[in-house]
Amino acid sequence: MRLPRRLRRLPRPRTLRARLTVGLVVLLAVSCAAVGLAAVVGLSGYLTQRLDEQLVQVGTRFPASLEHSGRLPNDHDGDEHGDTRRQATGTFGARLVNGTVTNKGLVRSGNLAVELNVDLTDADQRRLAAVPVDGRAHTVRLSSLDDYRVVASRGLDRDVLIVGLPLEPVEAIVHRLELVAAIVFGLALAVAGVTGALWVRWSLRPLSRVAATATRVSELPLASGEVALPPRAPEADPRGEVGRVAAAFNRMLGHVEDALTKRHASEERLRTFAADASHELRTPVASVRGHAELALLHPGPVPPEVTRALERIAAESSRMGEMVDDLLLLARLDAGRPLERRPVDLTHLVLDAVTDASAAGPDHRWTLELPEEPVTVTGDAHRLQQVLANLLANARLHTPVGTKVTVSLDTEGDTEGGADGSRTATLKVHDDGPGVPEDVRPGVFERFTRAEHRRRTDASGGGAGLGLSIVAAVVEAHGGSVGLESRPGATTFSVRLPVALSTG
């Protein structure tokens, strides 16, 4: 069943504590309303029943005496003109003949005098004529007299005699009860709401601590490296739901911590292996390359097939040596070894890198956009030059002939360094090639990531997939960040580095 639109717009409590408190108050309000309604209905019925019993005791003496006209006495003896004995203040009497009111009277307060000039409208007379002559009490609303409980009985002259008592005293008592109940129940709801909120808050403290611990765990960098989990959530009574949740959460944290410890140990072993293997491979690779170059320098006649084989050995050993150097660099960066920290003119590095790239790829269109003022960052000039070389080589090797490559350098932030003196240098390498495949983009900066279908249609061979991972590792070691935006016809690699603060 769908709620009405007006109810759906009402604000709903979001926290468990608020929901429990609101639920408690709503249940108490329903209970109070039920008790109040039962009390009001019960009291009203009881008082009405007593009124009906009083009507039966009064009988028809008063309306029967109204059939005599003339001056009415004001004593309590009663006579034929209006018998007020045993009549309460406000008693109404009427005599009907053939459905028409012939006589009527009302006992006024004070000396119990009878008022004959009671103003009854035609509607009032019709209501009186419609009262069943069964000797039972019925409620009738008279325009000038308000609500009355009346009893109709058959007279001796075949007429109908009606006697009634006002409901106003009963209604006054019932309304007073309603007011008292509303005040008392309102105060009870307010007190119950405050104390219930405090009680629910105290009862859910262990669950709040579990939530706080979970929040701290969610903010930890769990992707890699050694992770120190926060203290466990306080234990609660294991017989309750909150205690079981806290115990299960703590066990889960224990399993997570064990898994993270094992993963970190595995990563450390892998890094150590990569570093050791790279270091050990440098010597044999250099030896193979040296022997191949030495064989090529032999003065004697060498068959062309042997010469070609030696050239391939020298080229592949050179490529393998570069791969070993890249793996060794990544291992050093993973180990957290500090890089050189000196002022580096990034503008000069970009200019040299674009010049080298245009010489290596003359079939591409190279565009350079530099700011008027030089951009200086703090870092390792050799490693930053390697970042630029890898990005430009990636744009050259993975795009077809004729691709336009635009290299731009700019600074972001206040020219005076902002409130905290921080500015950012932004380097972008943009090309209008076919773009990075969508399935490769999420892991493009991971190691050994290579597109199954290269962006350059006429390219042959390929690297080991370490170039962009070196870019990301070096940039992060300098406190910067690297990003990629790619679609067919527009690929942009962005590098952001903190600008060196001016000391002058």
Is there a single domain that holds both residue 346 and residue 492?
yes
Is there a single domain that holds both residue 278 and residue 372?
no
Is there a single domain that holds both residue 403 and residue 493?
yes
Residue 450's pLDDT is what? 63
Separation CA 89–CA 164 (nearest Å)? 11
Residue 406's pLDDT is what? 92
Tokens of 153: 């009985």
Residue 458's pLDDT is what? 41
Separation CA 502–CA 315 (nearest Å)? 45
Q: Do the Cβ atoms of 365 and 485 come closer than 8 Å?
A: no
Residue 312 lies in a domain: yes
Separation CA 192–CA 172 (nearest Å)? 30
Domains of the chain: total = 4
Separation CA 87–CA 254 (nearest Å)? 88
3-state secondary structure of 290: helix
Is there a single domain that holds both residue 278 and residue 398?
no
CA angle 116, 122, 126 (to 5 degrees): 100
Separation CA 493–CA 210 (nearest Å)? 42
CA angle 163, 167, 169 (to 5 degrees): 125
Is there a single domain that holds both residue 322 and residue 349?
no
Cα dihedral 89→91→137→179 (10° resolution): -40
Assign residue 301 the CATH number of its domain: 1.10.287.130
- Kindly report the number of other CB atoms within 10 A of residue 108's CB atom: 14
Separation CA 347–CA 372 (nearest Å)? 10
- Looking at 203, 230, 264, which one is the last position of a domain? 203
Is there a single domain that holds both residue 404 and residue 367?
yes
pTM of the model: 0.49
Residue 8 lies in a domain: no
Q: How far is CA 95 from the centre of its chain?
A: 74
Is there a single domain that holds both residue 93 and residue 223?
no
Residue 123 lies in a domain: yes
Report which secondary-structure segment, H or E, holds 93: strand 92-97
CA angle 189, 193, 198 (to 5 degrees): 150
- Looking at 290, 322, 337, which one is the last position of a domain? 337
Tokens 């090529």 identify what position? Answer: 296
* 10-residue stretch averages of pLDDT, the chain, 504 residues long: 53 73 87 90 91 85 70 42 69 88 81 76 89 89 87 86 90 91 90 86 78 75 67 70 76 79 72 65 74 76 80 80 73 73 90 90 90 88 89 89 91 57 85 87 77 45 69 88 90 90 53
Is there a single domain that holds both residue 177 and residue 256?
no
Residue 85's pLDDT is what? 64
How many CA atoms are closer than 13 Å to the CA of 190, on its beta-carbon side?
5
Task: Look up residue 256 and give its amino acid.
Answer: V
Is there a single domain that holds both residue 269 and residue 360?
no
Task: Look up residue 132 and give its amino acid.
Answer: P
Give the phi and the psi of residue 237 in degrees, each rounded to 5. -60, 115
Assign residue 396 the CATH number of its domain: 3.30.565.10
Is there a single domain that holds both residue 158 and residue 238?
no
Is there a single domain that holds both residue 376 and residue 470?
yes
Domain span holding position 195: 14-57+168-203
Residue 464's pLDDT is what? 60
Tokens 């109404």 identify what position? Answer: 92
- Bridge partners of 375, per DSSP, are none
Separation CA 285–CA 463 (nearest Å)? 17
